[in-house]
Every structure is written in structure tokens, then in C-alpha cells.
Chain A
Amino acid sequence: MRLRQYGVVAAVATVLALTAACGTKKNPNSNDENAPDLPTYKVAENVDIDSPVLKAAQKRGKLVIGSKSDQPYLGFQDPGSKKYQGFDVEIAKMIAADLGFDPEKDIEWKTIDSSIRETAVSKGQVDLMIGTYTINDERKKQIDFAGPYYMAGQDLLVRKDEKDIKGPDSIKGKTVCSIKGSTPLRNITENKAKYGAKTVELGKYTDCVKQLIDGQVDAMTTDDAILKGYAAQQPAKLRVVGETFSDEPYGVGVKKGDKALRDAVSDAIEKHIESGDYKKAYEATLGLSGSEYVDPPKLDRY
């Protein structure tokens, strides 16, 4: 009994010592010097668009953007500083600037889980949803999409020294990891005869990456944008195969029926693609993976 009490005290002391230690180490997520610079965006003034969502945001003084927080170089949150960074985040910043919101001060970020994105947009929890959000007809029933701003596709992430896996046709007998219940995973399991790969389903992408590095699985599959982010994070250990086998156009989720906002967002994307900000943003983020820049798909204005 006494022993146990001492145990508790010792454990608490250890934890306090560990967590309360002076917090001033350099964080590896802060931009390193060799990386290309991120573009800067000019904030538009006197924006007047006939959009209820935007009017409400202007009144609030903040644009609420739903994002991912666990996809490096795409939609990523630094746990310590709570700052968001990555390619999707840059797209969000471009759009916010064109809508008259300062990207550094006037954006309120929210981490939104994949499974509740439609609800978050339609219930107005977020003004814009930007986070590996594939445009499809099922989702279009509930919300509208601006864009697409990026053409992703299902791809494979492998260890750098992997020799056997050259594309979807050479994963027979290999173990492939993906997120539980995700479309890319279903693509592999439902076409078992075609691909012949064993699958492991985990709850988070990082779990898959970890298992890939540890040799628990041989490859990981999902959209190439997400995979490029991980390869950019660990270029020495990982690479993207580069043979996409599906089309996943990424769009910006906006509330259904708000055509004015949807058009304004598409305009903003178009403008920054032309000005070269888009390419610059790519090269400072996903480009670090070693994957070549590809021109964005044509905007779909409906």
C-alpha cells in the first residue's frame, strides 16, 4: 500500500518534470532554410459579393476554414504552435486574401474529420472546407464545390529502396495499408482478383506510414497528394511510385446554393494559378517530395 502511494508520487513527479521543462527547443516543423519560400498574398479590399456566407464572415471579421491537421505539407497542424501549414492551407490562404481576409490574422482554422465534412459545411460550422476534398456527385447533393484546384489520384507510397512495386499491377502478394473504410482501400479490396494484395486498415495515415517505415507493411495507398506530403516529410526514407490509378479532383466545399461565393472562390484559384503563386506554393510544399509539378486541372464552373 505504502509502496503504491510512493509509486504514484514518483510517476506524477516524473511526468511534471518531463512536461514542465522549459519549452524552448527548436521545432523540426518550423521551415528549414533550404526550402523554397512560400508565396505572399495581397489582401483584397472592399470585397462586395452577394453571398450570405461571406457577409456573415465579414460581420464576424473571421473566415472559418475547415482543414485537415494530420497531413504533412498538405493540411497540417504543428502541435506546439497550433499553426496550420501545407499546400491545402496555402490554397485556403490565397482564397481568403482574395475575399478580403488577412491570411495570417483573419482566418479561424478548424480541424474537420473526413466523415463529417458535408455536415460541417451544410450546417455552417465552417465557411469553406479545404482538405483533400474529392468532388463527386454523391457529395454534390449536399454541398457545392468550387475548383477543382488539384487533380489527385490513387497512388502508392513505398520505402525508398523498394524495387518490386512499380505500380498497381505489381502489388500482388504484398501488404498494403490504408485508412479504414476509405475509397482507395475499397478499390483494392473489391478488386482483389485484379490486384491480389493483402490489406491492413488503420485509423490514421501516420499509423500506416509508421508501419511502412517499420516494415510491417510494404506499401500504403491513398491519394497521391497525401502520399507526396509524407514523402516530402521523409524524402530519405519514402517515395511515391507515381502511377496514379484513379482521378480525384480536389475542390473547395461551399454551402449549397451560394453560387456567388463559389464563383468568387473559383476566380481566386484561377487568378493565383495565372500569377504563379500556385506553382510556388506547390514547390514549397508537396514539391519537396521530389514529385514533379503538374499543371492544375481545368476549373469546373457549373
Chain B
Amino acid sequence: MNVLLDNFALFREGFLGTISLTATSAVLALVLGVVIAGFRVSPVPPLRAFGAAWVTLLRNTPLVLLFLIAFFIVPMVLFPGMSTYLLGVLALGFYTSAFVCEAVRSGINTVAVGQAEAARSLGMTFGQTLSLIVLPQATRTVVAPMSSIMIALTKNSAIAGAFSVTELFGVQKDLSDMGYNIMVVFMWVALAYLVITFTISGLFRLLERRLEVAR
């Protein structure tokens, strides 16, 4: 009885589910994270406070709790009938955005002070300084931590499996409910995650190397 071959369709669905969930949440987290990081260094005090509150709150809340909020409060506020995939992406994306924000912010801090000063003396505004001068240079230092954030996100997506989104944890649970040997299933699922996480860290290492040339 080969668990993998017998249930290949299930595995493939779960595998693709994990990838798609991770990718979509990653996009949301990156956009939100960069914007909030901008808030945190902006000249407008309420924006800074908002950014700080965002990060503090989201980083100190268990992800499972965020999932509960996404599934049981968000539809109440917006509209009923939202897809579970979308709600899962919201929870994962918001949670991860706090970590992205902090990585970007510390990246901003590593850019040489002279760069921003030169930009300002040329008469650039805050928005211009940040988007044209500082952020592009910060990218380099942010790549390494970003790789880890994305790997963490991949693993966190498993929690979505406990909330109805099809992904690899769901496969593990379904197959062990069907009576397959739990350790064998675990090995295959672990392998699938290793493939995804190694791919992510490989891609980021490639990116890091490309960017390093610029220095």
C-alpha cells in the first residue's frame, strides 16, 4: 500500500494549495508590510503610532486567534459568504505583514545616513527619498530576513488547514483519519514542506547574489 501513489491527487491538491496560499498571502504581506514600514518612519506622528500599534498587536497575537477573528468577526463586519480561502489569506497576510514591516524598517536603518541626507539636500520630499533612494538600497539587506519570513509563512499556512482551506496539513489529517500509518504520511508531508522551503531559500539566495553585485 503506497500512501503517496494511492492518494496522489490528494497530495497534489494539498501541495498546490499550500503554494498558492503562501504566494497570495506573501503578496498581501509584502504590500502591507512595506506600507506600514513607511508609516513607521513617516513624519506624521499618528501614522507612526498606527504603525507601531499594528506591529505590536499583530506580533503578540497567536495566529490561531487571528484565524478565529478572520473567520467569525470579519464576515460579520464586511459581508457574509466570504470564501474561506480569502479569509485564510487575510489572517496569514496581516500576521506576516507585521514581520515584513519590522524587517523593512531595520533594512531602512542600515542604509547609510548620507544617502538620505543627500536626497534631502537635493530637495526631495519624504516620499521621494523613501521610494527612490532608501527603499531600493534597503532591499539588499532585507532579502535574507525576508527569506525566513516567507519560510515561516509557508509553515504557518498549515494552520489554515485546520480552518477548511485545502493544503498539506489537511492532507495529513485526512489520510490519518482514513487509517494510513501516521508516520509514513508524516514523512511524505514533511518532504513536501522541505521541498517548498528549500525552494524558497534557494530563490532568495539567488536574489541575494544578484543584488550583491550592485554593491
Contacts and interface: CB of A to CB of B under 8 A. Distances in A.
A contacts B directly (C-beta below 8 A) = yes
Contacts of A215: 80-81
Given A138-B179, A200-B164, A202-B164, A181 B173 contact: yes
B72 interface: yes
B75 interface: yes
Interface string B147-177: 0000000000000001110000010011011
Nearest to B169: A180
Given A203-B162, A214-B76, A181 B56 contact: no
Contacts of A115: 176-177
Interface in B35-75: 56, 71-72, 75
B84 interface: yes
Contacts of B179: 138
A252 to B, nearest CB: 22
Contacts, number: 34
A207 B71 contact: yes
B79 to A, nearest CB: 9
A180 B166 CA distance: 10
A216 B163 CA distance: 14
B6 to A, nearest CB: 15
Contacts of A210: 72
A180 B80 contact: no
A2 interface: no
A175 B177 CA distance: 24
B56 A202 contact: no
B75 A214 contact: yes
B162 A180 contact: yes
Nearest to B67: A203
Contacts of A175: 81
A196 B27 CA distance: 33
Q: By CB atoms of chain A within 10 A, which of B75, B76, B164, B179 has the most? A: B164
A201 B179 CA distance: 19
Contacts of A180: 162, 164, 170, 173-174
Nearest to B84: A200
Contacts of B162: 180, 203
A203 B174 contact: no
Nearest to A218: B81
Interface of A: 4, 115, 138, 175, 180-181, 200-203, 207, 210, 214-216
Interface of B: 56, 71-72, 75-76, 80-82, 84, 162-164, 170, 173-174, 176-177, 179
Given A115-B177, A216-B75, A216-B80, 17 more contacts: A180-B162, A180-B170, A180-B173, A180-B174, A181-B170, A181-B174, A181-B177, A201-B164, A202-B163, A203-B162, A203-B163, A207-B71, A207-B72, A214-B80, A215-B80, A215-B81, A216-B81
20 contacts: A4-B56, A115-B176, A175-B81, A180-B164, A180-B170, A180-B173, A180-B174, A181-B173, A181-B177, A200-B84, A201-B170, A202-B164, A203-B162, A203-B163, A207-B72, A210-B72, A214-B80, A215-B80, A215-B81, A216-B75
